[in-house]
Amino acid sequence: MYLLFDAALHFPLNSQGQPLLLPTLPPGVKVTTRARVSPEVTAVRVSDVTAEELATQAASAREWFDDPLIARAVGLLVAHERGGFDPADGSQLAWDASGAFARGASDRPVFPRIDPCVIGVVEHADSKRILLGENRRRPGYFTCIAGYMDVGERAEDAFAREVLEETGRRIADVAYVGSQPWPLSGSLMLGFFARTEDEDAVGETDGELSRIIWATRADLGQLSLAPEGSIARQLIGRWAAGEL
């Protein structure tokens, strides 16, 4: 069975609103990348047709990364596209039939790279507001504070460091909430909840965020927020519902 993604990483849906699995590839489609997702499913990326042309319904993979099939399919397609050579010796990689790893001239298994990233809700000590930021490189919406872990760093410490670097606030009571794969960048998002008593920044910031705001539950309905399906949107939604 084939799971097709177009250049924008949209994929067709069946009549039940689930990923459409095709028994054969449509005639004439140009496949740019393929990856074995499971013994039954092969993911393919096509360049000359859109998902909307293949079915009456389609969806963006960005909104489906909580679905294990979509997350694995996109992650492996991205790994195939970006990881064509063995980082140890520069030889060309050939992917194993399972799709889980590749081998180069040294016959050493090379697995898709996964980078841990921390993200979370920072609540003010008054329990009425959370800290949100607009990323300078991705403007247009507010989202949770996030960043990559450093070498030898605990996830909790990484989140505290990122919040301090990006917003100038110190946090406490850091608690793990959940995770989500984000295969577009090869990341594993580790979600946290924390509190701060710092109304304003107590130090300089790194300039990564163009705007930093405090948002109440009432404010959230008036703001452009992180995309649906992202862990950032889920964390914000859980806080708004009183679940964090």
Q: What is the pLDDT of residues 193-232, one digit of tens each?
A: 999 999 999 999 999 999 999 999 999 999 999 998 899 9
Indicate if 68 and 149 belong to the same structural domain: no
Residue 192 tokens, joined:
């946290």
- pLDDT, residue 82, reads 87
Indicate if 123 and 167 belong to the same structural domain: yes
Indicate if 136 and 222 belong to the same structural domain: yes
Indicate if 68 and 143 belong to the same structural domain: no
CATH classification at residue 200: 3.90.79.10
SS (H, E, C) 66-132: CCHHHHHHHHHHHHHHHCCECCCCCCECEECCCCCCEECCCCCEECCCCEEEEEEEEEECCCCEEEE
* Listed range (11-15, 21-25, 94-98) with the worst mean pLDDT: 94-98
For the stretch 92-134, pLDDT in tens is 999 988 888 999 999 999 999 999 999 999 999 998 999 999 9
Indicate if 155 and 208 belong to the same structural domain: yes
Q: Does 13 map to a domain?
A: yes
Q: Is the pTM of this model over 0.75?
A: yes
Single residue among 63, 82, 101 that ends a domain in this structure: 82
Angle subtended at Cα 10 by Cα 115 and Cα 134, rounded to the nearest 5 degrees? 55
- Write the CA distances from 139 to 83, 183, 202, 230, integer angstroms: 29, 21, 24, 16
Q: Does 95 map to a domain?
A: no
Q: Does 7 map to a domain?
A: yes
Indicate if 57 and 124 belong to the same structural domain: no
Alpha carbons within 13 angstroms on the beta-carbon side of residue 214 total 15
Indicate if 233 and 144 belong to the same structural domain: yes
- pLDDT, residue 76, reads 95
What percent of the chain has pLDDT above 70?
100
Q: How many domains does the chain have?
A: 2
- pLDDT, residue 51, reads 93
| φ and ψ of 21, to 5 deg | -105, 125
Q: Does 87 map to a domain?
A: no
Tokens 């990006």 sit at which residue? 166
Q: Does 88 map to a domain?
A: no
Domain range spanning residue 123?
A: 115-240
